[in-house]
Amino acid sequence: MACNGTSTETHGFLLLNVSTMSALGATTLSAPFRISLAVVMMLMIMVGFLGNTVVCVIVYQRPAMRSAINLLLATLAFSDIMLSLCCMPFTAVTLITVNWRFGDSFCRLSAMLYWFFVLEGVAILLIISVDRFLIIVQRQDKLNPRRAKAIIAVSWALSFCISVPSLAGWTLVEVPTRAPQCVLGYTEFPAGRAYVVTLVVAVFFVPFGVMLCSYMCILNAFRKNAVRVHNQSNSLDLRQLTRAGLRRLQRQHQVSVDLSFKTKAFTTILILFVGFSLCWLPHSVYSLLSVFSRRFYCSSSFHTASTCILWLSYLKSVFNPIVYCWRIKKFREACIELLPQTFQILPKVPERIRRRIQPSTVYVCNENQSAV
């Protein structure tokens, strides 16, 4: 149901056309601010595309990198690439021109693709979180590359099934100018509201709850392990360093090293979870308000709110490769190796000379000896 009372009926639900939306006279942002947001979004497209492409190329080119967790990260990167290419450019154009210039049919398609790739990215984050929980808390490492590929295929199918009803006209999809891209709009049909609730719950609230519980359990396990190692270290007396005592010290050192490695890997996943929460909590609340609150949907500030919130949701596709570059040394090294020689500031040092400069590199396993 449009704000001015005019609408068109489609499959029992509503689709606002371009002329109707132009007549609404929504309050838009100032031109300099819109252009600035569009320019930043274009930079986000470049960074997101290049950074996530590096992840996919690394996993594809190096067999040693095709572990279960790396396959999941590559799938997450691919979904962010598709989001950057299929949705963000049209949003950037609409930010500048204010009007949607790509037609009603593509409006529905772009909305469906938006939710499709977002759902897939969230599903991969959920799978990674559950896998970390099983490894660290339950001590069950059941996810191998074969099972990871099967789970990835199932996640793509489920994401498509959940997102495709918006393309079939099962709910209201609004054609801008009331938003910088096609978004879910206000409707009074119970089935349409039920679908939107299902969509938002599947995208944010269920994954957020499961991941939060998993991470709380993991943090609790880390705390218990740290306390246990600390207590065992304090209980040892230097006068009791027999052969059994030395073996006990070696086991404690091994547990401490393993705990440190798992903590570092878990911290990276935890940062991705925090980024997902910050980028998608406002969008989930905004989507529910748009569908259930006519007052919010028809307010003059709707365009401003939708612009800022949608821009924030796109930030997640850029956030992940930045975290990889910050936290993962192998990712930084791969980025340098993939750069053309003309863009590399420092020449690459041959491995034999590098070993003379830094003898510790002799003991570093290469990618053919172990997988990350």
Which pair of structure tokens corresponds to residue 343?
A: 């863009």
Mean pLDDT on 72-93:
92
The span from the CA of 273 to the CA of 279, in Å, is 10
14 DSSP β-pair partners: 9
Of residues 91 and 22, more confidently modeled: 91
Residue 70 has pLDDT above 80, yes or no: yes
Which pair of structure tokens corresponds to residue 103?
A: 């037609």
- Dihedral, CA atoms, 277, 330, 70, 156, nearest 10 degrees? 50
Q: Are 183 and 306 in contact (CB under 8 A)?
A: yes
Strand 183-184 relative to strand 8-10: parallel, antiparallel, unpaired? unpaired
Of 117-126, 136-145, 146-155, the least confident: 136-145
Q: Are 319 and 47 in contact (CB under 8 A)?
A: no
Residue 128 has pLDDT above 80, yes or no: yes
* Segment 9-35, tens digit of pLDDT: 443 333 443 334 433 444 567 888 888
Residue 269 has pLDDT above 90, yes or no: no
Q: Are 200 and 171 in contact (CB under 8 A)?
A: no
* Segment 224-253, tens digit of pLDDT: 877 776 666 555 544 454 555 545 545 544
What the chain holds in terms of domains, given with CATH numbers, is 8-236+244-339 (1.20.1070.10)
Q: Please give the pLDDT value at position 85.
A: 92
Segment 17-23 long-range contacts (CB within 8 Å, at least 24 positions apart): 17/104, 17/175, 18/99, 18/100, 18/104, 18/175, 21/100, 21/174, 21/175, 21/176, 21/177, 21/178, 22/99, 22/177
The span from the CA of 274 to the CA of 235, in Å, is 38
Q: Please give the pLDDT value at position 235.
A: 56
CA distances to 13, 178, 290 from 19, rounded to whole Å, are: 18, 12, 20
Of residues 66 and 236, more confidently modeled: 66
| Nearest Cα to Cα of residue 199 among 313, 122, 307, 131 | 122
Of 45-54, 160-169, 302-311, 345-354, the least confident: 345-354
Residue 360 has pLDDT above 90, yes or no: no
| Nearest Cα to Cα of residue 270 among 66, 119, 132 | 132
The span from the CA of 325 to the CA of 316, in Å, is 15
Q: Are 13 and 192 in contact (CB under 8 A)?
A: yes
Q: What percent of the chain has pLDDT over 70?
A: 71
Residues 6+ apart with CB under 8 A from 13: 169, 170, 171, 172, 187, 189, 191, 192
Provide the 3-class DSSP secondary structure of residue 180.
coil
Residues 6+ apart with CB under 8 A from 300: 26, 27
**DSSP run (H or E) holding 13:** strand 13-15
Residue 316 has pLDDT above 50, yes or no: yes
* Segment 140-153, tens digit of pLDDT: 888 899 999 999 99
Of residues 2 and 205, more confidently modeled: 205
Q: Can you give the C-alpha Rg of the chain in angstroms?
A: 25
Q: Please give the pLDDT value at position 59.
A: 87
